[in-house]
Structure 1
């Protein structure tokens, strides 16, 4: 048996950014267009008018201040209200593979590895741009890796579930090195015309390199334990399945074909599930709350994270113990906890323990307990 370790991470951040102010201006312009178009029905009481959004409402509801997207022009056009993603030919790299490639190269460089060292590529994301061939196999080909590759989807928990799958294979000895990539174009399945959720998501891609700890040459995180759990629920759902935003003849304009969420039920049901999951995982591994130096939680909502952090630690987390990135990135589905880990982990000392946790649709929850190690010292 081998001990798996995370030796490198990478984050691809799109060049285009939408602030809450920009988003609210576009959304409220759409509301004016909608209410004017349906003025007669609204006056007759047959249709409810849409209500304005505001920066104050968004930040209070989520803690989000801005988000990065692959295309902002379509999102901010009141007559469009979705990203305009160019249809690529079959001979071109797919947009998700292109995003993943950037993050993957960062992770390899940090670990001091090349594509030739990778035995497995897993593309784990909440939505994929096509059913097949697997995006992971395309990333494998673009990088020049050997071995094998496959896609997986566990919604917002995709990254932690993929880390467990990769770690198990490293531990068993069937592979030496695995690359997990999480390209999330959440803007493509968000309903930007719905006041209750139009602010939630952003786009990003992350990558995590997992290999045998004995092979690690630099500072790294030993994977002490992983744990995953699922419980079916309809409270977070997307019936579209794959990334598709075209709306010919209104066929794909059904509201249930995009992201939908019953926020109140999600809060009520997911928070205790996640808190208990983390507590049970830590107890099983003999990790005391006082020994936990860092919590890298799923970046969906600041209120949710504050609640979970307090439950896990038994007190309000100190600044830095539970870093948030959603104020800048918004909810990036499976990539959120990995962004937090990538950006806020280098300062931990050898021997420090931390925990990555993601949760979301399914319901699903995945956690990874890590221990920091210094770079190997050559004799």
Structure 2
């Protein structure tokens, strides 16, 4: 069922280079005004998977921290889930679809090669403006958030719907216990609204985003097939050991970069909301930052890895529980196939 999270906030971004003090009127910022989420109703536990593949609850938990995942039914397409998360975010922000300027959907599992899932979402919502997809695997939401922030700050859009939506269950080889136990389906969305800030780290909203990729590492995590390669099975392939090794290093670097760009330290961070890939990776990044476990949002145990949807789903979950509150400084980070990785620092 649809999940709605209450939040109203504003946003800002630290300039890349030092400059003169901002004008009294302030500068344009991308303000976080609403959050929404959708999870498929069907829950598959580790015990359920053990009846289908050679695995066990103990084996899965020990290696990933996952105990269950949500799996989409045939009617729960990428568009279907994205629309419901978007509606929840709009309702939370007190906005209507006709006020939307741009929709960006981060997904590696679109319903069609084209049109973009975002365009389908636009049609279902009855929204105006323009819409497009972005593919950066598990880093997709951070990438999409950065693009939306830039569009708002440049004045090309007054507001934006940013959605992460995935149906990874349709990419999995259900005979491969090394990958099929790790992923789930779902969608999360945020609504960003143009506002004003002062231009430094005490502002609310998106303070900065930092994006990276290294195509030389593309064979560590990929899907073996596409529209242009019908001879391939189209299943997810992963070198888990190597992904883990790169994840902790790159993610720690990305979050340190975000803090340095804003003149902040880990002590200033109220919450780390990481991509929910693996409990051990999350723990590793938290330890490198010196953040106590109680300040790290973890939903991988219930959601598994939902790729581009995992950060907004985790954000929505923590806010609905009353853990994350308005005014909190939230650090988001993700790493995905490509390899791609990045971070975003947001004050709600």
| CA drift at 1:339 | 1.0
- In structure 1, which of residues 69, 72, 97 is the aligned counterpart of residue 71 of structure 2? 69
Q: Does 1:156 align with 2:138?
A: yes
| CA drift at 1:18 | 0.6
Q: Which residue of 2 aligns with 1:112?
A: 94
Q: Does 1:300 align with 2:285?
A: no
Residues 294/102 of structure 1: CA separation in 2 closer, same or farther (3 Å cut): same
Whole-angstrom CA distance in 2 between matches of 1:360 and 1:269: 10
Whole-angstrom CA distance in 2 between matches of 1:330 and 1:318: 18
Residues 349/201 of structure 1: CA separation in 2 closer, same or farther (3 Å cut): closer
Q: Which residue of 2 aligns with 1:10?
A: 36
Q: Per-residue displacement from partner, 1:129-162 (whole Å, max 9, x unpaired)?
A: 2111111111111111111111110000111100
Counterpart secondary structure, 1:197: helix
Instruction: Point out where structure 2 has 5 or more consecutive residues left out of the alignment.
Output: 1-26, 198-202
Whole-angstrom CA distance in 1 between matches of 2:326 and 2:66: 33
- In structure 1, which of residues 54, 57, 60 is the aligned counterpart of residue 59 of structure 2? 57
Whole-angstrom CA distance in 1 between matches of 2:61 and 2:101: 43
Q: Does 1:353 align with 2:334?
A: no
- In structure 2, which of residues 310, 325, 328 is the aligned counterpart of residue 336 of structure 1? 310
Q: Which residue of 1 aligns with 2:47?
A: 21
- In structure 2, which of residues 182, 187, 194 is the aligned counterpart of residue 212 of structure 1? 194
Counterpart secondary structure, 2:273: strand
Whole-angstrom CA distance in 2 between matches of 1:338 and 1:141: 22
Instruction: Point out where structure 1 has 5 or more consecutive residues left out of the alignment.
Output: 28-51, 72-84, 87-93, 373-379
Q: Does 1:227 align with 2:204?
A: no
Counterpart secondary structure, 1:101: helix
Q: Does 1:318 align with 2:344?
A: no
| CA drift at 1:350 | 5.0
Please identify the structure whose Cα radius of gyration is greater: 1
User: Do the aligned residues in 2 keep the contact of 1:127 with 1:241 (CA within 8 Å)?
Assistant: no
Residues 265/159 of structure 1: CA separation in 2 closer, same or farther (3 Å cut): same
Whole-angstrom CA distance in 1 between matches of 2:94 and 2:260: 34
TM-score (norm 2): 0.85
The alignment covers a number of residue pairs equal to 312
Q: Which residue of 1 aligns with 2:200?
A: none
Q: Which residue of 2 aligns with 1:276?
A: 253
Q: Which residue of 2 aligns with 1:196?
A: 178
User: Do the aligned residues in 1 keep the contact of 2:254 with 2:333 (CA within 8 Å)?
Assistant: no
**Structure 1 segments (4+ residues) deviating >3 Å:** 345-351
| CA drift at 1:349 | 5.0
CA RMSD in angstroms comes to 2.1
Q: Does 1:176 align with 2:158?
A: yes
Counterpart secondary structure, 1:306: helix
Q: Which residue of 2 aligns with 1:364?
A: 340
User: Do the aligned residues in 2 keep the contact of 1:159 with 1:334 (CA within 8 Å)?
Assistant: yes
Residues 307/115 of structure 1: CA separation in 2 closer, same or farther (3 Å cut): same
| CA drift at 1:366 | 2.0
My pick for the range that moved more, 331-340 or 341-350, is 341-350
Counterpart secondary structure, 1:133: coil
| CA drift at 1:318 | 3.4
Whole-angstrom CA distance in 2 between matches of 1:110 and 1:23: 36
